[in-house]
Structures are given as structure tokens and as C-alpha cells.
Chains A and B, each alone.
Chain A
Amino acid sequence: DGGITQSPKYLFRKEGQNVTLSCEQNLNHDAMYWYRQDPGQGLRLIYYSQIVNDFQKGDIAEGYSVSREKKESFPLTVTSAQKNPTAFYLCASSMGPGPLYEQYFGPGTRLTVT
């Protein structure tokens, strides 16, 4: 089955620790995205990547980092510099960048930092 995998579903970390969220897709999509969702809020874009070895900051990139070494993988690292890291994180992919290509979303990871 083609799709997007995010693991784990729930993640707990202590304050001051970096943590990496996994996102893998087997849809052969070129573009991948990371969104953050807070209660009562819509999704906000953290980073996106149009092709391998290239990525751009979204609206709320501070305190986050990404890599895109393989087409199918786009891991997100939440660093200790992120002031409020507790949130629901969604990864998405699309065949190409831009509005003509539907974004497909993964099941998300709930990160709790205490």
C-alpha cells in the first residue's frame, strides 16, 4: 500500500533534548512538507522540500531543522531552541510543488515535551 508513515504516534521528551520525527513516503513524490498543529489552530508550515537535497523554511522554522537526503524521507528535528515544542506534527507529500498537486498527509506524531 502506498502512503506516508510517521513514527512514532506519540513521543515524549524532556526539555532541553533534541528529538527527531520520522516521515517516510513510498508514493514516489518529489515534494514533502512538515506542518505543526496546535489546539484551536489550523496547520502551520514549518519546512518544505521540492526535491532531494533542497528545502525551504516555512512560516515557523525557528527551532526546527530538516534534511532531505533521500526522496522518500524527510525527517524533522525539534531542537532545544524551539520554545514551545509540544504539538501535533503532520508530514505531507505531493507529486510536485504547487497547488495543482494534492498534498497527502501522514497520520501525525504527537510530541510532548516536559
Chain B
Amino acid sequence: AQTVTQSQPEMSVQEAETVTLSCTYDTSESDYYLFWYKQPPSRQMILVIRQEAYKQQNATENRFSVNFQKAAKSFSLKISDSQLGDAAMYFCAYYSGGSNYKLTFGKGTLLTVNP
């Protein structure tokens, strides 16, 4: 079974600085997808960024980028120029490319942004 591990329960960053959130996963599959979701205090989940395992190039969405290390099974999220609105719980998630249509989530990292 796939597992997703986020080793940092909490992180903090100063406004305008850069922060990196860690995620590792365990799988025997070669075809899969990885995601970072944000859950602000409103508790509504929002997709931040996604990465297809077959793509070597790291995904980027504006201030958000990932460092995808397939051999190490690592998928970290970098937030540049942190803003107060980035404060949220961040979840790493894994999606099998097979017929098992489900997301497996990590336990989350609570990010605090200090003004």
C-alpha cells in the first residue's frame, strides 16, 4: 500500500521569505501523480500544484514550485516570497496511475507566516 509521510508537523516563515515543506512517499508503482493541497482556516481544500511521475521537469505555479526526486521518493514544496495568505495546513497527496481511483494523503504541515 502507498504511504505518504510529512515529517514536519509545523513550520514557520517570515513574510517575503522562502520556505520548503517536505514529503516522502512509498510506492512500488512507476506511474503515479503527486499533489500539494492547501487547507486554509476555512477548511476548504485547494489544489496548489501537481506533478506527474513520468515528467522529469519540476512543476511550477507562480510562487510555488516542487523538487521531485523520483529515486529518493521525495516531493518537497517550495513557497517563495511567502505571503500572509499562505498560512494554512498543507497536505501532500499521492494518486496511483492504475485503476485505484483514490488520493492518499499525508498528515499535513501547518505553515505559519509571520509579518
Contacts and interface: CB of A to CB of B under 8 A. Distances in A.
B101 A50 contact: yes
Contacts of A45: 102-103
Interface string A56-96: 10110000000000000000000000000000101010000
Nearest to A3: B44
A88 B43 contact: yes
B47 A99 contact: no
Contacts of B68: none
A2 interface: no
Interface stretch (B11-19, B56-64, B77-85, B104-112): B104-112
Contacts, number: 53
A108 B44 contact: yes
A93 B23 CA distance: 25
Interface residues of B, number: 24
B101 to A, nearest CB: 4
B49 to A, nearest CB: 11
A59 B103 CA distance: 11
Contacts of A59: 102
A99 B44 contact: no
A105 to B, nearest CB: 4
Contacts of A29: none
Contacts of A42: 4, 91, 93, 104-108
Interface string A26-59: 0000010100000011111100101000001011
Interface centre among B4, B42, B96, B104 (most CB of A within 10 A): B104
Q: For the complex of A and B, list the 8 residue pairs with the smallest distance between their C-beta atoms, beginning with the closest.
A: A42-B105, A99-B95, A99-B33, A105-B45, A97-B101, A43-B105, A45-B102, A107-B44
Interface of A: 31, 33, 40-45, 48, 50, 56, 58-59, 88, 90, 92, 97-99, 102-103, 105-108
Given A90-B43, A105-B45, 20 more contacts: A40-B108, A42-B93, A42-B106, A43-B45, A43-B91, A43-B105, A45-B103, A50-B101, A59-B102, A88-B43, A97-B101, A99-B32, A99-B33, A99-B97, A102-B47, A103-B47, A103-B103, A105-B44, A107-B44, A108-B43
